[in-house]
Amino acid sequence: MGAAGSWAPRRLGLPAPSRPAWLAGAALGLAAAALGTVAWRRARSRRRGRLRQVGTVAQLWIYPVKSCKGVRVSAAECTALGLRCGHLRDRFWLVIKEDGHMVTARQEPRLVLVSITCEGECLMLKAPGMDQLVLPSKLPPSNKVHDCRLFGMDIKGRDCGDEAAQWFTSFLKTEAFRLVQFEKHMKGRPSKEIFSPVVPNYQVAYPDCSPIMILSEASLADLNTRLEKKVKMDQFRPNIVVTGCDAFEEVSASGRLS
């Protein structure tokens, strides 16, 4: 180390530094690095200090088929197209008329009676007076892709087959229906055409207007003080239910959920 350390200065025509000078330089370098580390840690600590918890996630819900019952989960992945838990995707299935127009509980209230569970790679659908419908989470690519219509906007959906179509038609008993599934490679509906241009430009599948809906218990309680007939949380079908915050604080961008 000593020979290598003295060779470079001599090549440049400079006297080799003495060992004490070399040690002093190394010590100054280490001190600078240590001070830099301390400063970075303090800056990071200050950044963390600006975060403020406004509530706690109390419940997570995924609604696989639009307007049907939700599935409560203990954990979920937040994706650009909504919550995901295994093969459960939020509002990735949709009941349509034969002309492609969406059908929700607004037109067919009995849809809210359809319950869903997930077993392996299949969704299991149950409804009063109906045999269980077993629906694969991945459809054959040979199934027809429909042009669907949601709130005046076009979107695609792959047909879930004749058995699923007959199941919903027999249960609702009003006209012929079909069930379609959104696939992640399909083009979603752009948020900028649903909301004003100031919102983030994300894509949505079959939800009304946003990939994820958050609602707090305090906001629901505040709303119920203004109503003669009280409403329940599940009537709003939120994906994330928050507790421990003030009313409507979940809409603030300055908070942090845990």
Q: Around Cβ 150, how many Cβ atoms within 10 Å?
A: 23
Letter string b/e over residues 165-197, b meaning 16 or more CB atoms within 10 A of that residue's CB: bebbbebbeeeebbbbbbbeeeebbebeebeee
For the chain, the farthest-separated pair of C-alpha atoms sits apart, in whole angstroms, at: 98
CA dist 176 → 15, 36, 81, 159 (Å): 95, 70, 29, 14
**CA distance linking residue 81 with residue 70, whole number of Å:** 17
**CA distance linking residue 139 with residue 137, whole number of Å:** 7
pLDDT at 212: 92
Domain boundaries, the chain: 61-208
Q: Each residue's pLDDT tens digit in the chain (258 positions)?
A: 444 443 333 433 444 444 444 334 434 444 444 444 444 455 555 555 577 777 899 999 999 999 999 999 999 999 999 999 999 999 999 999 999 999 999 999 999 999 999 998 999 999 999 999 999 999 999 999 999 999 989 999 999 999 999 999 999 999 999 999 999 999 999 887 877 666 677 889 999 988 999 999 999 999 999 999 999 999 999 999 999 999 988 876 434 443
Nearest to 134 by CA among 112, 155, 163: 163
Helices (H), the chain: 2-11, 19-49, 162-172, 217-224
**CA distance linking residue 26 with residue 20, whole number of Å:** 10
pLDDT tens, position by position, 106-149:
999 999 999 999 998 999 999 999 999 999 999 999 999 999 99
> Which DSSP symbol is given to 187?
-
Nearest 5°: CA angle at 21, between 15 and 26? 120
